[in-house]
């Protein structure tokens, strides 16, 4: 059984992109530019638009890595296995797809989250062939241990906030040790990296944007990224980070940033 999905290093995040036309156009534009990883979620309310953008792009389905998430605790009606299966099937219907490459069976480990129920549902979906890989979001190492013990399907990906101001070294080491892909949401710290002097200095030295510096650093660390972008300019700027490599001195300077600026820490978050 394949454990670790082959996730493109750079994807398009769609969090808060709720305008249907704009979201559809952004997804299509990103795919036209070369992106091959699109991330959405049941809770984002934009799966229909994401699916339309994929269809409109003309890019073959098997060339696009599509990930979605089920059952955000703010919106979930229940966490029983059959309810999770039903929610995942609803995600597929909204996306207009027969399957997804990656299903994050846990969006947040909150509410009535139950690992046994959750991963029983994920196994059902995997066995049916509608989910290629199973992932989790916003788990600590302890909760990852619990999830891996409960799941018959290997946990192939972990999505968490990660950027130069929240470097997640312990989770990066955990994922490397257990052959799990780490996917960074908010890889620009919701814009906080633009004000970090270390990032600004490197960007100015190389004539690139602070976003490109941050994305290049994460890529150097083996972390996949899904920066949210709602304009063609930002979509392209993020894409161009793939052509930019940091030198060793730059990497050391960013590694030395001693901050833990978590940008998203809701009341239902785990005890980080």
The question of whether 113 is a catalytic residue gets the answer: no
* Residue 194 near residue 188, CB atoms below 8 Å: yes
Instruction: State how far the Cα of 146 lies from the Cα of 51, in Å rounded to an integer.
Output: 33
Instruction: State how far the Cα of 192 lies from the Cα of 131, in Å rounded to an integer.
Output: 34
Which of 13, 8, 69 lies closest to 185 in space, CA to CA?
13
Query: 10 Å Cβ neighbour count for 202?
Result: 25
Catalytic entry in 44, 79, 113, 185: 44
* Residue 96 near residue 52, CB atoms below 8 Å: yes
Q: What are phi and psi of 181, to 5 degrees?
A: -75, 135
Max Cα-Cα span within the chain: 54
* Residue 68 near residue 42, CB atoms below 8 Å: yes
Which of 162, 170, 138 lies closest to 270 in space, CA to CA?
138
Q: Which residues are annotated as catalytic?
A: 44
């Amino acid at each position: 059984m394949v454990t670790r999905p082959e996730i493109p290093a750079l994807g398009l995040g769609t969090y808060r992109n709720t305008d249907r036309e704009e979201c559809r156009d952004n997804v299509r534009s990103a795919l036209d530019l070369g992106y091959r990883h699109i991330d959405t979620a049941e809770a984002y309310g934009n799966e229909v638009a994401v699916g339309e953008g994929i269809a409109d792009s003309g890019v073959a389905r098997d060339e696009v890595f599509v990930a979605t998430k089920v059952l955000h605790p703010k919106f979930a009606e229940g966490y029983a296995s059959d309810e999770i299966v039903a929610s995942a099937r609803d995600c597929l219907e909204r996306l207009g797809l027969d399957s997804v490459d990656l299903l994050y069976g846990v969006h947040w480990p909150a509410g009535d989250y139950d690992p046994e129920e959750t991963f029983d549902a994920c196994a059902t979906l995997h066995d049916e062939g509608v989910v290629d890989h199973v992932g989790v979001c916003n788990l600590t190492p302890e909760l990852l241990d619990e999830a891996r013990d409960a799941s018959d399907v290997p946990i192939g990906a972990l999505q968490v906030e990660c950027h130069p101001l929240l470097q997640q070294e312990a989770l990066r080491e955990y994922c490397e040790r257990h052959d799990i892909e780490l996917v960074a949401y908010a890889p620009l710290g919701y814009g906080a990296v633009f004000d970090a002097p270390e990032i600004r200095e490197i960007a100015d030295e190389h004539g690139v944007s602070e976003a490109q510096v941050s994305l290049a650093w994460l890529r150097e660390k083996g972390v996949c990224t899904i920066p949210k972008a709602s304009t063609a300019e930002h979509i392209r700027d993020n894409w161009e980070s793939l052509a930019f490599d940091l030198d060793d001195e730059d990497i050391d300077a960013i590694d030395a940033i001693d901050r833990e600026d978590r940008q998203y820490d809701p009341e239902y978050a785990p005890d980080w």
